[in-house]
Structure 1
Amino acid sequence: MKTRILTCLLVLLVGKTQAQLSAPDNIATSKGPLTIQPVEHASLVLTVAGKTIYADPSGGADLFKGLAAPDVIIITDIHGDHFDPKNMDAVKTASTILVVPQAVADKMPEADKAHMVVVNNDGTTTQAGISIHAIPMYNIPGGPDAKHPKGRGNGYILGIGGKNIYLSGDTEGIPEMRALKNIDVAFVCMNLPYTMDVPHAADAVLAFKPAIVYPYHYRGQNGLSDVNEFKKLVNEGNKNIEVRLRNWYPQK
C-alpha cells in the first residue's frame, strides 16, 4: 500500500514539473506550423516540419522530458546558463549537430567535435534545412572587463519557412540589433548587471520593430525583471508589436 501511494505521489510530482512549462505557441510558416516551446531562462525549443532546434539547453535535463530530441543545438556563449555540457549530453543524440561560436568550441569535449559546426559573428550555416546566421552580442562599453566582449558569443537569426527568428543572446541594445530588418519573432534579454535593463530593451525593440517579441533571459542579480513594464513601454511606442509574456522560470 505504501509503495502504491509513493508511486502515485512520484507520478504527480513528475507531472507537475512537466506541466509547469509554458504552453507552446505556433507560428505559421511555409514549412507548416513552427512550434515555440519556452523552457527556462535562455532555453527554448523550436520545431517545424519534423525538425527540432534547441537553443542554449540548460536548467536540467528534466525540463526537456517529453520534448522531441534535437536535430540541432545552438549555443550562444560560454556561460553556464547557455553552455551546460552535462545538460547538453543528456538531451542530444548521436546525430545532433552542435552550432557554436569558437569560444564554446574551445571548451567542447573532443568527442563532440565530429558533430560540431563553428560559426562566428556574421557567419552562416544551414542545418536541418534551417538557415542559421550569427550576429554580434556584447556589452557596451566593451573592453577586457566586459562580461560579454564583442566577438566571443553569438546572437542568431534563424530562417525557417520564410520567417526570421532572432535570438539575442547576452547583449545590450547594440547597433547590430537596432539595425535588424524583417524580424518576425524576437527573443530579447533583459537582466542587470549582465545585459540591459527593461527601458533599454524596450527602446531597442522599438528600433528594429519585430512583429512578435518575447522577453526572455530576464533573471538578474536582484530577481526577475519587470516584463509587464517592458510590454507597456513597447506598446506605448508601437502598438503593432505583439509582446508575448511567458513563464521562463518554471522551477520558481
Structure 2
Amino acid sequence: MKSILFPLFLSVAFISLAQSDQISTNDGEVVIQPITHGTLVLSWNDEVIYVDPYGGADGFEGIADPTIILITDIHGDHLNVKTLAAINTSRAKFFVPQAVKDKLPEAMKSRTVVIGNGQTVVFQEIEILAIPMYNLPESPDARHTKGRGNGYVLTIGGKRIYLSGDTEDIPEMRNLKNIDVAFVCMNLPYTMDISQAASAVIEFQPSIVYPYHYRGKGGLSDVESFKTMVENSGIATEVRLRDWYAR
C-alpha cells in the first residue's frame, strides 16, 4: 500500500497550491497541475504523470520529474521533442500511440510502450486505457484521423480521469461512463466548439470537468459560456475553469 502522506508532500514541495487542485482517491490524493494548453501534470503518491509535455522546461519548474509520460498525438503541441529534451525524462516510462513512437528520439524509444485505441495497460497500479480521438466527419485528410492518436482514461486509486486529446464530439466520448474528472478540449478549427463540448459533457456527465486546450485560430474559446451551458443543463457536473494561458 502506498503512503497517503507522500502526495501531501508533493503538493507542498513540488507544486504550487495556488495553481493546483487535489482529488481524493481510495489511496491518497491526486494533485492536478495545469501547465499550458493541453499540458498538465497529475501526481499521485510517488508517481508523476506528465501529459503532452509542451512549452519548454520553464512550465515545469518546481514540479517533480516525470515517472510516466503520456502523449496523445504527433502534433507539436502534444509531441514536443524540444520540451522532452529540456526536462529530465530519465526515470520516465512513455505511453504513446505508434505514430508518436515513430517520431520520438531513439534514446526515448527503449522506454516507450505503444498503446493503441481500445488497449489497456497497467503500470505502477495505474490503469491506462487508450480510446479514440479524431475529427468528424472522418476522412483520410482530417487533421486528426481515427486510430492515429489516443485519448486516455486513467484509473488512479479508483478514480477515473479522462484526457480527451484533440477530438471532436465523437460517440466514444459521449459513451464514457463513471468519469470522475474529465479534461475536454474545445478549439476551432482543430477540435470542437464550446456547444459541442458542452453537449457531450452533458451526456457523459463527469463529476468534474476542466475545459483545456481551448486556444484556436480565433484566440481563446469562451469557456465561461461553456460553463454556463453545462450548469444550465441541470446535471451535477462541476465545471472548473483554470487559466491555462497565464504564461
TM above 0.5, yes or no, is yes
CA distance in 1, matches of 2:162, 2:18: 20
CA distance in 1, matches of 2:231, 2:48: 31
Larger radius of gyration: 1
Name the structure 2 match of 1:4: none
The answer to whether the aligner puts 1:146 opposite 2:142 as a matched pair is: yes
Are the equivalent residues in 1 in contact too, given 2:202–2:235 (CA < 8 A)?
no
Residue 59 of structure 1 deviates from its aligned partner by 1.0
Residue 91 of structure 1 deviates from its aligned partner by 1.8
What amino acid maps onto 1:100 in structure 2?
Answer: V
The answer to whether the aligner puts 1:215 opposite 2:211 as a matched pair is: yes
162, 167, 187: which one pairs with 1:191?
187
- SS state at 2:110 partner: helix
State how 1:1-252 maps to structure 2 within 5 Å.
Answer: 23-251=19-247
CA distance 1:92–1:127, shift in 2 (3 Å): farther
What amino acid maps onto 2:48 in structure 1?
Answer: T
User: Could you report, residue by residue, the CA deviation over 1:56-110 in whole angstroms, capped at 9, with x for unpaired residues?
Assistant: 0101110101001100000000000000011012223322101100000111111
- SS state at 1:206 partner: helix
- Name structure 1 gaps, 5 residues minimum: 1-17
- SS state at 1:95 partner: coil
Identity %: 59
RMSD (CA atoms): 1.4
What amino acid maps onto 2:236 in structure 1?
Answer: N
What amino acid maps onto 2:214 in structure 1?
Answer: Y
CA distance in 2, matches of 1:77, 1:203: 24
User: Could you report, residue by residue, the CA deviation over 1:97-139 in whole angstroms, capped at 9, with x for unpaired residues?
Assistant: 0110000011111111110000010111122321110000000
- SS state at 2:150 partner: strand
- Name structure 2 gaps, 5 residues minimum: 1-14
- SS state at 2:113 partner: strand
Give the structure-2-normalised TM-score: 0.92
CA distance in 2, matches of 1:67, 1:76: 21
User: Could you report, residue by residue, the CA deviation over 1:144-193 in whole angstroms, capped at 9, with x for unpaired residues?
Assistant: 22000000000000000000000000001100000000000000000000
Report the number of matched residues. 233
Are the equivalent residues in 2 in contact too, given 1:27–1:35 (CA < 8 A)?
yes
Give the structure-1-normalised TM-score: 0.90
Are the equivalent residues in 2 in contact too, given 1:22–1:39 (CA < 8 A)?
no
Residue 22 of structure 1 deviates from its aligned partner by 6.1
